[in-house]
Amino acid sequence: MARLYDNADRALRYAKTIASDMVEYNKDALLKSLKEDNVWEALEEQVQQGREEFNARVTPEIAAMNIYERALVEVLLHRMQDRVKTPIWDAPE
């Protein structure tokens, strides 16, 4: 049986690995969805699959901390700001 992550820092690294894999294997779909401002809808299946994988490998306390969701925002959105020109980045705050 695989070890469960019970440390938030390690769980975050694991979540970022899942998100990075999502970028690598869905690069075209991600770039297109960023330009169309529909990332979560376009990658819904991959996001859910990643969430299930993450939750299966972390303790319930870690799963409740929204670490996976924060990793998705960082990897799928923030890291892409310099790589993709899209009106999303210019949205008013």
Tallying the residues shown for the chain, one arrives at: 93
The pLDDT confidence band at residue 6, using thresholds 50, 70 and 90, is very high
Task: Mark 29-61 as b/e (b = at least 16 C-beta within 10 Å).
Answer: ebeebbeeeebeebbeebbeebbeebeebbeee
45 has a pLDDT exceeding 90 = yes
Q: What's the predicted TM-score (pTM) here? A: 0.86
Of 85, 84, 89, 68, the residue nearest 16 (C-alpha): 68
93 has a pLDDT exceeding 60 = no
CA angle (43 as vertex; 41, 45 as ends), nearest 5: 100
Confidence (pLDDT) at 33: 92
Segment 39-43 shows an average pLDDT of 95
